[in-house]
Structure 1
């Protein structure tokens, strides 16, 4: 059981509308803690172009995340930076069932300097200072709902503004041991959150009344994270790697205010945790001939940690129960190919890859028909990613890589620049 400051992690889940196909499905700020599809892909345009496979190769600075054992490849001092650009389309629609509602999610464009690394070798120790953007999410959502059940007619509106930014800064260390390489990192993760949701409900029949429910989370929190990895070169053609990542859990505080017509304002503060699930994985690299690599990675993500130690459901404190909810850990398979073509004093690289992000949504198993309807709606198929990339390096000193990741109607573009001191 993972703990934070000696206290078991609690996950807050607010029951509301589970609607649309996007990386963050939750319709209120609290639901971030149950449905967020974290980015567990390694940084670097090179790895991204190969379907985010890198555990068994890990021979550039992005090894600080993919597999820190790979830092032992980096004999020369080097600087690496990465820039990312992500677009997500606007989503609108109408859903019918026990509750009828319409929704809108505004389009999103994110631009960020998402990774940097400074690498240096001291005798037989390979060192790195790095920064990695593990989370960048901005959303503005709104929806309206209308229900009529057992003579009770309700109209509800919900408006959500959400901003999340997560960065990790840390130190990496690796060493060669015969045909093996071993490495580890330790980092300080920082989470900045600025979030507000307001739900307004009008009860028309049998008697008119109104309710307003507002929740807010603002602030910055820090937590430690670490990872460890191994690489084994079985031959000139085969290599294998494995990695484990202990990801952070952040202690947050949520302000809650409820107003019912004719009643005093009810307010409180709940302690909640933002849980980043731990991961572990393994990979195989096969090099059938010079310049050609085939890569296969497996990654296990422990999404059950999101609800494992109990949680608070703000709208139904003391009524709803953890036993009504379930989710599963997931396994991701990533496949990638890299082909290197030597040129005069330079090398041109072509890359492609594929992976799927499996469904891992929390399901409701209680008897409430409304909640059954809300939680039964899934986001359709698993998220399929197709990646392509190209790279150019000169005299093994300067390297430029570009990659594009397509999933659905959305995409991410990465650009990486590497300089080595020769």
Structure 2
């Protein structure tokens, strides 16, 4: 068994060594919690819909064309707490031929992070406004142990075996640092440009174990680096009661190292440069104002999730097409809808509600694995079983409130779904 695993690793690495490859089929990558929602508790309370409005300092990242609406310098800060429900394969039995995963078991846990999610500073001018900002696309930590699974061939051969148990310890953070400008073409139309530096901080290990409990192969992800991207934005105030916003965020490929080691092969290790492709996002948003107190926002975002797995690779699968293509992600469309109503009291008070559709973007095996053999031994459908814990698309429900003072505004936001819960506290100071 050890010889078979070591040889499988070597076969995979022959194709990987000496070239940069994309994200791998590591168990830790089954559910990467990317978030492309707009920054700020105010936007969160309105279902994340803010492209067409973009009327505060968070526009620096959301839609830089909206910066031209500001008349005084602003600083915006957001603290966000994210509770992610991580789910994984944890025991049971899978039948290989014909494939039947109904006997598999799954476990889950809640992974919490709290951080300064976003910061922006805007200095407006008569026709041109400038901003600097920081935003976290993802901040995720997890640590879980899987019992693996067993498998049977489902035919008359009587073969059966184990899908190895594994431990995952992961830490993933992607930050964006940027500078933006908005330019007012005329009183109705503005353009925006942002230049971004993306930084990947990754430290993750996946340890696999033989059925007798001996350590097998460790796969580590480390040494993330940075890359440049940009934002383009436009905003058109079509009427006094309707505005339209456009945004395109181009993100780079971020390199990190993938390291394989095994205790039964002392002194041997395999290191290759790997890419994490951050998806591009294109969005269009509409903001309607039925009255001075009431705003309705509607956004549609196209997220190019397929870029994450365009060049998906493996250190273990000898068939890099048949076993990996079913894992590749498809592009998805987010739909955001939210509203805000402001009460004209001494200190104006706003309430917000919204909802949005989050398309499926977990790595889930789609299809039936083809029978494969190695040295005449039928190999288990590892990817088909390991990547079977996905839960599909999600509907998020959001709520929020805020209060404005003479030069300060404070907002609260909440976002709830089956896979994650988010709480946000943000403030805007104008001077």
What TM-score comes out, normalization by structure 2 length? 0.83
Aligned to 1:12: 23
Verify the 8 A CA contact 2:33 2:138 in the aligned structure 1. Answer: no
Query: Counterparts of 1:248 and 1:115 in 2: how far apart (Å)?
Result: 20
Q: What is the aligned counterpart of 1:292 among 291, 294, 305? A: 294
SS at match of 2:262: strand
Q: Paired residue for 1:24?
A: none
* In structure 1, C-alpha distance between the alignment counterparts of 2:397 and 2:341, rounded to whole Å: 17
- Equivalent in the alignment of 2:183: 175
Q: Give me the whole-angstrom Cα distance separating, in 2, the residues matched to 1:155 and 1:372.
A: 10
Q: 1:22-421 counterparts in 2 under 5 A? A: 27-28=27-28, 31=29, 35-88=31-84, 95-98=92-95, 104-149=107-152, 150-154=158-162, 156-178=164-186, 179-202=188-211, 212-260=216-264, 266-308=268-310, 310-316=311-317, 318-321=318-321, 323=325, 325-344=327-346, 346-362=347-363, 363-365=365-367, 366-368=369-371, 370-371=381-382, 373-374=384-385, 377=388, 379-395=390-406, 397-408=407-418, 410-421=420-431
**CA separation of 1:74 and 1:329: change in aligned 2, threshold 3 A:** same
Q: CA–CA distance in 1 between the matches of 2:49 and 2:307?
A: 24
Alpha-carbon distance between aligned partners in 2 of 1:416 and 1:56, rounded to the nearest angstrom:
20
Q: How many residue pairs align between the two structures?
A: 389
Q: Rate the CA distance shift 1:381–1:170 in 2: closer, same or farther, 3 A.
A: closer
**Structure 1 residue 46: deviation in Å?**
0.4
1:420, CA displacement in angstroms? 0.5
Q: Decide whether the 8 Å contact of 1:45 with 1:82 is kept in 2.
A: yes
Query: 1-side partners of 2:328 and 2:94: how far apart?
Result: 22
The CA distance in 2 between the partners of 1:214 and 1:8, in whole Å, is 21
- Distance in 1 of aligned mates of 2:86 and 2:325: 35
Deviation for aligned residue 1:140: 0.3
Report the Cα offset of residue 95 of structure 1. 4.8
Q: 1:409 to 1:330 in 2, by over 3 A?
A: closer
In structure 1, the residue matched to 2:375 is none
The whole-number CA distance in structure 1 between the counterparts of 2:359 and 2:86 is: 22
Q: Any gaps of 5 or more consecutive residues in structure 1? A: 1-6, 16-26, 204-208
Contact 1:118–1:128 (CA under 8 A) maintained in structure 2: yes
Shift of the 91–243 alpha-carbon distance from structure 1 to 2, 3 Å rule, reads closer
Larger relative strand fraction: 1
Structure 2: gaps of 5 or more residues: 1-17, 96-100, 153-157, 372-379
Q: Indicate how the Cα distance of structure 1 residues 282 and 55 shifts in structure 2: closer, same or farther if over 3 A, else same.
A: same
Query: CA RMSD of the aligned region, Å?
Result: 2.6
Q: Which moved more, 1:221-230 or 1:318-327?
A: 318-327
Distance in 2 between residues matched to 1:383 and 1:225, nearest whole Å: 28
